[in-house]
Structure 1
Amino acid sequence: MKRLYAAYGSNLNIKAMQKRCPNATIVGTAQLDDTDLVYRGKPPRVYLTLVTKKGVSTPLGIWSVTESDEAALDNYEIFPTLYHKEVRRVQIRERDTGHTRDADVFLYTMVDGMPLGTPDADYVDACRTGFADFGFDTERLDHARQG
C-alpha cells in the first residue's frame, strides 16, 4: 500500500531519496500554512523541523512511498526517538498535470525539547540541493539557520 509523504528537508533531495527509497515517486508540491523551518537537535544530529509560526508557510515536496520506503524513512529519521510522525491535510499541486487536490500526507517532526542548533554543512548542502530540485527558494534554509 502506498502513502503520501511530505518532505521539507534533506528528503527533498531527489538523488538521496532514490537511494534511500527506491520505489518512491514524486507526486508534486504543497505548502504547509502557519509553519516555519528551524534547525534543532544535539550535535552531531542537528536537523530541520517544523514549528508553528502564524503567517508563514513551508514548501513541501510530496512523494508516493511504499511500505518498504516508509520503513527506510523511519530508520533515516530515527523514528520514534528523534522524530515522530504526523498526518496533515494539504493541497497538492500535481507535478505532471498542474492540477490541485486535497490529500492527507504524513511527515516527520522533531520530538519536543530539542534545542536550536547549527547543522552539519553536508546536511545543509543536501537540503539546499533538494530545495533546488523542487524549485523552492533556498534562502529559507539560511533563515532557518538563524532560528
Structure 2
Amino acid sequence: MAKKKLYIAYGSNINLEQMAYRCPTAERVSTGFVENYELEFRRVATIVPKQDSKVPVLVWELKPEDEQRLDRYEGFPRMYRKETIPVKIGDKVVDGMVYIMNDGQISPPPESYYTGILKGYVDNGMDTSYLKVASERAYSHYLSELQEMCVECDETEDIDEDEDDDYDFDEYDDDEEIDPDIDGQTRIDYHSLRM
C-alpha cells in the first residue's frame, strides 16, 4: 500500500468543494498554522518567509494519486515548487508538503479566487483576518506601483495644454453643406443609405 502524505493548504485548496473535485480521496486532517511565514498574493496565493508571522492552514492527507493531480493543478514544477516544512496542529508539530510559488510579483487576487478561499476559511472556522490583511497588502502594493508609473509619466511627458487652441471646433456649421468631392475623393452620403 502506497504511503500517504500530509499536505499543507493555505490558498484555494482550503476550499472543501474545490478539493473534493480535485482530489476526491484526500482526507481533511485539521487546521493549523505554519510559523515564520506570511500569506502573499501574486494574483494567486503563496507563502513567503517572514520572522514572527504565521499563516493559518488546512492539513490534508493525500494518496499518491491525489498528489499527482495536485501537481498538475498547481503547475508543478514550473509555477510552484514543493517543500517540506513544519506545521503546528494544536500542541503538536509535524512535517507536511507545501506548494510555494517560484516567481511572481505581489498583485491582487481576482475576486472569484479570493471568494473561494474566503469560503474555505469560513467553512473550516479559520481566522479570516489573515486573508484580508494579505489581500489589502496586495492592493496597496498594486496602487503604489500605479502611482509610481503615473509620476514617471508626468515627468517624461511634457504636455502642451494650449495644443488644441489652434483648432477652431466651431469652424464648421453642422447645417453647412460639405463638398462631396473634397480633394478629389468621393464622399458617401450615409443619410441616403438609411432604410
Q: TM-score range by the shorter chain?
A: 0.7 to 0.9
Find the aligned partners of 2:69 and 2:7 in 1 and give their Cα distance: 12
Question: Within the alignment, does 1:59 sit opposite 2:56 as a pair?
Answer: yes
Shift in Å at residue 139 of structure 1? 2.4
Match of 1:43 in 2: none
Say how many residue pairs are matched.
135
TM-score, length of structure 2 as denominator length: 0.66
Q: Distance in 1 between matches of 2:31 and 2:109?
A: 25
Change (3 A) 1:89 1:76: same
Greater RCO, CA 8 A, separation 6+:
1
Higher percent of residues as strand = 1
Which runs of 5 or more residues in structure 2 are unaligned?
Answer: 139-195
Cα distance in 2 between the residues matched to 1:20 and 1:27: 17
Name the structure 2 match of 1:2. Answer: 4
1:76-117 Cα shifts (integer Å, max 9, x gaps): 111111110000122324xxxxxx4332100001003x1111
The answer as to 2:125 corresponding to 1:140 is no
CA distance in 2, matches of 1:54, 1:13: 27
Give distance in 2, aligned partners of 1:125 and 1:80.
26
2:14–2:117 Cα contact (<8 Å) kept: yes
Equivalents in 1 of 2:23, 2:132: separation in Å?
Answer: 27
Going from structure 1 to structure 2, the CA distance change for 1:55 and 1:111 (only over 3 Å counts) comes to: same
- Aligned partners of 2:66, 2:98: CA distance in 1, in Å? 13
Give % identity: 36
Q: Which runs of 4+ in 1 moved over 6 A?
A: none
Structure 1: distance between partners of 2:111 and 2:88: 32
Q: Tell me how large the CA RMSD over aligned residues is.
A: 1.3
Aligned to 2:78, the other structure's residue is in SS state coil
Instruction: Report the structure, 1 or 2, having the larger helix content.
Output: 2
